[in-house]
Structure 1
C-alpha cells in the first residue's frame, strides 16, 4: 500500500495571521499530486489551528471559522482517500468531527501506527492548560508583530520536548514514540507535532515524522509497504 502523510498545516482564519502560508489553489494541486501517487493520505494532526483565536477557549468556533476560510481544502479532506487524526491544536476535532488520535494500518505484512505525537510532549501531557495558554499568547504575539518572540517560544518548546537530531537514542520524543510502537507491536510509527521531519531507525522498528506543511512548506512522508520504501520529502 502507498500512503502519504502530512501534518501540522495549522490552517487558520485566512487572515494575515494565518500561519498556513499557502495559496489554497496551489495547495489543492499538491493534494492532487499526493492522491495520484498514493492510495491513502493520512492527516496526522494539527490540521486546523484552533488555539490562537483572539478570545481563549473558543476552539469549536475557531475550527468552524478555519474550515470556512479554507472551504475547498476542508471539502477535499472529506474524500474517502483521507484519514484525519486530531492533534493538540485541533483537539476539538475529536468531538466535533470525530477525528481519532490513533490509526492502525496493516499492509503487506507491515504494521503501521499513526498518531500526532502530542501524547509524548511533556508540557501537553502534564499541563495541557499551560500549553494551550502559550499557544493563545503566541497568537497575540503574531497580532502584535512580535514574530521573533513567537519563534523563540517554539524553540523553547522543542528543548522541553527533549528533541535531538544528533542523537536519536537520546531524543525523548522519539523514545516515547518507540515505546508506544512496542506496546502496539507496530513496525513503523508515524508522528507529527514537532515540525521536524525525519526517518530514523530504532533497532527493527522505524520512527517517522512528517514535519510541517505550515509556513508555506510542503513536507510529507511517502510509505510504500510493498516495496519497503519509507521516505521524507520537502518538495513535490
Structure 2
C-alpha cells in the first residue's frame, strides 16, 4: 500500500443510463435543454397509488450490453449498473482484455444500490403468494442483494481488486465514489469502477415512498412536481 497523500485521483471515463438518456451525451444534452424525466407511470397500473408519475427509463435493452442468459439473471438495477460500467470503461479507453492478471488485481468495483432488487422481490413475493415457495426462482437471492451489481461488473471484466457495495439510502452513489477515491488515494487500488443504480419503480417501491410521505402527489404536472424548496 502506498501511503502518499500527493497521489492524484482523476475521472477517466463516464457512463449513464438515465430517464433523460441512455448515454452521458444524451443525459447531458437533455439537462442543458431543461428537460424533465418525469412522466405518468406506464410500466404498470398506478391507480391504487397516491403518486402516479415517476422518472422512468425508456428504450433500454439489456441485450445491447450482455447476452440474454446474463440479462435474465440480473435485476434491472444490476442491468443498468452493468450498462453504465461498460460505457465508462469504453469511454476511458481502458482495455481489460490486454491487462495481466496482476494488473487486474489493482482494479476494483465499488458500486452501490440503496434498494437493490426490489423488482425481483416484488415478482417473487407474488409468486410465493399465488403458487407457493417451491415456485420461487433459484436466482431470487442473487438478484435481490445490492452488491450483485459490483460482483457482476467484476466478473464481466475479470477485475480482481476491492469489490463491495455501500448502502446509505439516497447518499449511496456518493459514498461509493468517496470510498473509491480513498482506495486509490491510499494506494490500495489503481482503478475503481464506481457509481450507483436503482430500479424501484413498481407498486411496492412507489407505495413505500408514498407511505413515508416522501413523494409529491402533483399528478397533474409531473414535469414540475419536484419542488423541494416550496
* TM-score range relative to shorter protein: under 0.3
Q: TM-score, normalised by structure 1?
A: 0.26
| Larger RCO of the pair (alpha carbons < 8 Å, separation 6+) | 2
Structure with greater proportional helix content: 2
Q: Which has the larger radius of gyration?
A: 2
